[in-house]
Amino acid sequence: MKNLLLLFIFLFYSALISAQGSQDPEFTKGFILLGKLNNGFTSGFKSYTPDLYLGGIGLNPQITVVENVLRLGANAGMTYNNKKLSGLFGPMLALKIKTLDTKYMGSYANIHLLAEANWGTAKQQMAGGGFGVEIFKKVHLGITAQRDYYFNTWWFQSFIGVSLSKSKESDD
């Protein structure tokens, strides 16, 4: 009985140490602000509709609503498409699906799903999503596809984003 009790205490202590060492540092509580640069094309997937260049810049504030899992935010920016400048704005969310880490150095990146809806000053009405990678909580890379329901086209974009918000000082 004494050995069984010692085994239980050992297993409990081991699990406690393991849980403390595996705390996920990605998608932590708080606010981030990203500056984003977009690049891509729009297509109607028909032989008589040309594929058009698409580029843009924007700001993307986000707040973590479920720590280590979900961020909600907004998109606001300017885009160049079809030889016109227009503004885009709308809500977005990021759902973390994987933390990339090393055995001894901890986390260095995360992979997340993106969902967005955007409306534009040139009558764009879009919804879509994609994948993003956040590296060292400073650089964001990703690809998205959005359907424009007003113009009946698809927007395919890649983006690079840089965190413009100050990182928090740790209490250690």
- pLDDT tens for each residue of 66-100: 988 999 999 999 999 988 999 999 999 999 999 99
Domain residues for the domain of 146 are 25-163
> How many separate domains does the chain show?
1
The answer to whether position 8 is within a domain reads no
- Give the pLDDT score at 149: 94
Q: Does the CA dihedral 132-75-63-139 come out positive or negative?
A: positive
**For the chain, how far is it from start to end, CA to CA, in angstroms?**
41
The answer to whether position 158 is within a domain reads yes
- Give the pLDDT score at 45: 87
The answer to whether position 15 is within a domain reads no
CATH of the domain at 86: 2.40.160.20
The answer to whether position 16 is within a domain reads no
- pLDDT tens for each residue of 36-71: 999 999 998 887 778 899 999 999 999 999 988 999
- What does the alpha-carbon distance between residue 36 and residue 54 come to, in Å, rounded to a whole number? 14
- What does the alpha-carbon distance between residue 123 and residue 73 come to, in Å, rounded to a whole number? 22
pTM of the predicted protein model: 0.78
- pLDDT tens for each residue of 13-33: 444 444 334 466 788 889 999
- Average pLDDT of the residues of the chain: 86
Amino acid at 2: K
The answer to whether position 149 is within a domain reads yes
- pLDDT tens for each residue of 91-130: 999 999 999 988 887 889 999 999 999 999 999 999 999 9
The answer to whether position 35 is within a domain reads yes
The answer to whether position 9 is within a domain reads no
Residue with tokens 């040139």: 122
The answer to whether position 47 is within a domain reads yes
